[in-house]
A and B are shown apart, each in its own frame.
Chain A
């Protein structure tokens, strides 16, 4: 957790213990702390204070977005009978986090695919949505590939083909790396999770733009203007705001520094290890290179280097052929390198990556995926260590498999 958050939370773990929903002075002090946090986050994330809904994290925020819109549509009975059961009533990308995918699946919704870079297929989206569509959810940055989605273009497609649809975006992975206020401007619902930008776990936000109708998930208590009941996690909210503020202040410098470390790591591993693919990037001379020309025109990117412009700075995602993620992670841990693969399930086991599948990755490559996430605390020494350890571990596993 970032030190600013730790410090901001301290009083609320000690004497400042009042319930902000109360009526007396100490309660009002607590509510003031919550509302100061609200104002700060609204400012940072391009929303009105009244549009900030505090909750327990992005999973809840995503659930509220999807079930909330679906519930409001059903309640209003505003759609025709055909519309209510239409499979394109709720639409999301195929690479969403389970916190979006599972609710969409429960509601009988549908997914829209991505290309090999992991970018949403805008044509497929245009085909999929129409006057029956109530909600479209597209995450701003994918947690596995680190690829940034073209939200402005998504909003354009909706304006043309489904102007009544609500656009939701899970911005969890974006806060540390991008100007979230600018990029989510056109979305009506935006999810955040504090622990992804140095804040505490168990707290997050759903931005609900004025006019968007949501059926709440948590009833009773009336907090957050009846949108989300339950006593506020005051310490968590205050910590979240402090972390967001610190992150925003350091963002440009962090991005520049981390990007260099990530590039060094990825470039080294691709040279030192045979049969490895970096996901979400355009390699010089590849089929994707021609497609990516439009992006390159805006940035100054050389034709000779890997084009990582579609990714956030801290994401390094690789697929090693002939290797199993579980085994690689086991060996890396022993050498003090802590990484990840796809997503874990309730039992703690890794599940095959639905993101890599959607990007069209071969099963054998997808099985050997490695996610190296860099953050504000990553140092040169960390990169040195990873560069030394990973090739050896991969070699050991490939020898054993032979």
Chain B
């Protein structure tokens, strides 16, 4: 079963599998019933997928998962903003819909595997499947697929992961696929370019006007909606006057304020995060950490946070900008995804390294306690 968005990647994925002799059925999911102009899953995109299937001589079906999409992706998107978090709806859609709901349906209908056009690869490590970055670094989508576990990876095929984007488009031309030159969809499928995130949210939630203050408490401006400000944001902060460029450092919905600071003020030595979901066993040591889709990966290490029961922190090798709470953070080792989590707000306590023992994260109770090893690492530091 190939999940087809109407874009060139999933079209080529379907074509390659059909060419290789598999029995392929193309499926487009109907997720969002409202306006859609970002190039993914609108009615015209469904038509594109259908016509590509006609051209390839394979069946095309449309599955309506609109209700689940609203429940699991759109409603939480609004709720997260209300709480001052910045969610990745595409990550949630992958987690709950594409690689859960759809996978279950594929199984119920007797399919052996599900394939998508994602730019990522599945590799084997001692026989176990792992997600790895796609061949085209600029287009790598492993970041939004971090939640996939071994069971899911076993039943997943990613046919275009070994190809560069140019190779995919060339293949599309060779195969006569009509979407060969279709531009890639960039943004969230349920927010139209014309409407924008602000108006989408405004129609679904009450916004809290807030003060904009510096880190020392001096008031420097105001915003009509605290909930629409993202940590790391630079524009639309309601600031008067020039001076050093200011960035949003903290979003406090309850307190009705946005704290701003300089470029340096953004930096922290440790980033608090939710408990890490490891793909297999927890991985110790320095990892390559990516905090945004197509963001540059930087080095850091995961430790347990004693001050905050159950939560973790990433200790950066070099200070990094605070990550917007709610954003996915993905851990790589040798270009493979080993785990992921979401960012928590940075408070003054958690940004401070001193006074906490470094303990390797132990999330499975049957694993040996590595605290002793970590303590000796700490002593050596």
Residues of A within 8 A of B (CB): 324, 326-327, 330-331, 345-352, 396-397, 400-401
A397 touches B108 (CB 8 A): yes
Q: 22 A–B contact pairs at CB < 8 A?
A: A326-B61, A326-B64, A326-B105, A327-B105, A327-B108, A331-B109, A345-B30, A346-B43, A347-B28, A347-B30, A347-B43, A347-B62, A348-B62, A349-B30, A349-B62, A349-B63, A349-B64, A349-B66, A350-B64, A351-B64, A352-B67, A400-B104
- Taking CB atoms, residues of chain B closer than 8 Å to A345 are 30
Docked complex Cα distance between A401 and B61 (Å): 21
CB-CB under 8 A for A330 and B64, given A346-B43, A349-B30, A397-B108: no
Other A-B pairs, 19, CB within 8 Å; known A326-B105, A327-B108, A349-B63:
A324-B105, A326-B61, A327-B105, A330-B61, A331-B109, A346-B43, A347-B28, A347-B43, A347-B62, A349-B62, A349-B64, A349-B66, A350-B64, A352-B67, A396-B108, A396-B110, A397-B108, A400-B104, A400-B107
- Taking CB atoms, residues of chain A closer than 8 Å to B109 are 327, 330-331
B253 is an interface residue with CB less than 8 A from chain A? no
- Most chain A C-beta atoms within 10 Å of own C-beta, residue among B46, B64, B67, B105: B64
Docked complex Cα distance between A401 and B108 (Å): 7
Return the chain A residue nearest B107 by Cβ. Answer: A400
- B43-70 with Cβ < 8 A to chain A: 43, 46, 50, 61-64, 66-67
- B24-51 with Cβ < 8 A to chain A: 28, 30, 43, 46, 50
- Taking CB atoms, residues of chain A closer than 8 Å to B50 are 348
- Taking CB atoms, residues of chain A closer than 8 Å to B43 are 346-347
- Taking CB atoms, residues of chain A closer than 8 Å to B66 are 349
- Most chain B C-beta atoms within 10 Å of own C-beta, residue among A331, A347, A350, A352: A347
B108 touches A348 (CB 8 A): no
Return the chain B residue nearest A348 by Cβ. Answer: B62
- Most chain A C-beta atoms within 10 Å of own C-beta, residue among B46, B50, B62, B108: B108
Return the chain A residue nearest B50 by Cβ. Answer: A348
Nearest CB in chain B: distance from A212 CB, A: 36
- Taking CB atoms, residues of chain A closer than 8 Å to B105 are 324, 326-327
- Taking CB atoms, residues of chain B closer than 8 Å to A351 are 64
- Taking CB atoms, residues of chain B closer than 8 Å to A331 are 109
- Taking CB atoms, residues of chain B closer than 8 Å to A349 are 30, 62-64, 66
The 9 closest A-B pairs by CB, nearest first: A400-B108, A349-B30, A349-B64, A349-B62, A348-B62, A347-B46, A347-B43, A346-B43, A347-B30
- Taking CB atoms, residues of chain B closer than 8 Å to A401 are 108
Docked complex Cα distance between A397 and B62 (Å): 18
Nearest CB in chain A: distance from B343 CB, A: 35
Nearest CB in chain A: distance from B127 CB, A: 27
Nearest CB in chain B: distance from A142 CB, A: 21
CB contact between A326 and one of B46, B63, B110 (< 8 Å): that residue: B63
Residues of B within 8 A of A (CB): 28, 30, 43, 46, 50, 61-64, 66-67, 104-105, 107-110
Nearest CB in chain B: distance from A402 CB, A: 10
- Taking CB atoms, residues of chain A closer than 8 Å to B110 are 396
Return the chain A residue nearest B61 by Cβ. Answer: A330
Return the chain B residue nearest A398 by Cβ. Answer: B108
Docked complex Cα distance between A396 and B110 (Å): 9
- Taking CB atoms, residues of chain B closer than 8 Å to A327 are 105, 108-109
Return the chain B residue nearest A329 by Cβ. Answer: B61
Nearest CB in chain B: distance from A363 CB, A: 9
Nearest CB in chain B: distance from A321 CB, A: 16
- Taking CB atoms, residues of chain A closer than 8 Å to B108 are 327, 396-397, 400-401
Docked complex Cα distance between A349 and B62 (Å): 5
- Taking CB atoms, residues of chain A closer than 8 Å to B104 are 400
Docked complex Cα distance between A331 and B109 (Å): 7
Return the chain B residue nearest A330 by Cβ. Answer: B109
Docked complex Cα distance between A211 and B241 (Å): 72
Docked complex Cα distance between A284 and B363 (Å): 58
Nearest CB in chain B: distance from A362 CB, A: 15
Return the chain A residue nearest B47 by Cβ. Answer: A347
Nearest CB in chain A: distance from B302 CB, A: 37
- Taking CB atoms, residues of chain A closer than 8 Å to B63 are 326, 349
Nearest CB in chain A: distance from B310 CB, A: 33
Return the chain B residue nearest A400 by Cβ. Answer: B108
Docked complex Cα distance between A401 and B107 (Å): 10
- Taking CB atoms, residues of chain B closer than 8 Å to A350 are 64
Docked complex Cα distance between A396 and B105 (Å): 12
- Taking CB atoms, residues of chain A closer than 8 Å to B107 are 400
- Taking CB atoms, residues of chain B closer than 8 Å to A348 are 46, 50, 62
Nearest CB in chain A: distance from B100 CB, A: 14
Docked complex Cα distance between A246 and B50 (Å): 37
Nearest CB in chain B: distance from A18 CB, A: 36
Return the chain A residue nearest B104 by Cβ. Answer: A400
Docked complex Cα distance between A324 and B68 (Å): 13
- Taking CB atoms, residues of chain A closer than 8 Å to B30 are 345, 347, 349
Nearest CB in chain A: distance from B355 CB, A: 51
Return the chain A residue nearest B59 by Cβ. Answer: A333
- Most chain B C-beta atoms within 10 Å of own C-beta, residue among A326, A351, A396, A401: A326
Docked complex Cα distance between A397 and B109 (Å): 8
Return the chain B residue nearest A347 by Cβ. Answer: B46
Docked complex Cα distance between A73 and B107 (Å): 56
Docked complex Cα distance between A345 and B28 (Å): 14
Nearest CB in chain B: distance from A263 CB, A: 31
- Taking CB atoms, residues of chain B closer than 8 Å to A352 are 67
Docked complex Cα distance between A350 and B50 (Å): 16
Docked complex Cα distance between A34 and B61 (Å): 40
- Taking CB atoms, residues of chain B closer than 8 Å to A330 are 61, 109
Nearest CB in chain A: distance from B170 CB, A: 30
Docked complex Cα distance between A326 and B30 (Å): 12
Return the chain B residue nearest A342 by Cβ. Answer: B64
- Taking CB atoms, residues of chain A closer than 8 Å to B61 are 326, 330
Return the chain A residue nearest B25 by Cβ. Answer: A330
Return the chain A residue nearest B67 by Cβ. Answer: A352
- Taking CB atoms, residues of chain B closer than 8 Å to A400 are 104, 107-108
Docked complex Cα distance between A346 and B46 (Å): 10
Return the chain B residue nearest A352 by Cβ. Answer: B67
Return the chain B residue nearest A397 by Cβ. Answer: B108
Docked complex Cα distance between A326 and B61 (Å): 9
Return the chain B residue nearest A344 by Cβ. Answer: B62
Docked complex Cα distance between A400 and B110 (Å): 10
Return the chain B residue nearest A346 by Cβ. Answer: B43
Return the chain B residue nearest A326 by Cβ. Answer: B63
- Taking CB atoms, residues of chain A closer than 8 Å to B28 are 347
Docked complex Cα distance between A396 and B111 (Å): 13
Docked complex Cα distance between A340 and B127 (Å): 44
Docked complex Cα distance between A56 and B56 (Å): 33
Nearest CB in chain A: distance from B311 CB, A: 36
- Taking CB atoms, residues of chain B closer than 8 Å to A347 are 28, 30, 43, 46, 62
Docked complex Cα distance between A351 and B61 (Å): 14
Return the chain A residue nearest B65 by Cβ. Answer: A349
Docked complex Cα distance between A327 and B28 (Å): 14
- Most chain B C-beta atoms within 10 Å of own C-beta, residue among A331, A346, A348, A401: A348
Nearest CB in chain A: distance from B67 CB, A: 8
